């Protein structure tokens, strides 16, 4: 099993977070080793999420920023008519 980011950096204070240039949290890790990571599109909307429990989700948006598609690791998905 590979080390978590905080372990690699020898971080001792939690919750450990990494933020992007816009101040949005892209990685978070707590003292139990649970982690999550998030990706955002150019408009700051979440497009991908994943955590150490194996959960993930993907979201797509149209050119107006409206959510048009969502799916996750539990099998849930939906398509929004625009």
Task: List, for residues 7-37, the tens digit of each pLDDT value.
Answer: 888 888 899 999 999 999 999 999 999 999 9
Task: List, for residues 57-70, the tens digit of each pLDDT value.
Answer: 999 999 999 999 99
Domain borders along the chain are: 5-79
- Whether 14 and 6 have beta carbons less than 8 Å apart is answered as yes
């Amino acid at each position: 099993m590979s080390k978590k980011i905080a372990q690699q950096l020898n971080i001792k204070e939690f919750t450990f977070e990494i933020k992007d240039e816009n101040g949005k949290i892209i990685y978070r890790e707590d003292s139990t080793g649970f982690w999550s990571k998030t990706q955002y599109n150019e408009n700051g909307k979440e497009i991908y999420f994943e955590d150490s429990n194996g959960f993930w989700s993907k979201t797509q948006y149209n050119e107006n920023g409206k959510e048009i598609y969502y799916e996750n690791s539990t099998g849930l998905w939906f398509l929004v008519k625009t």
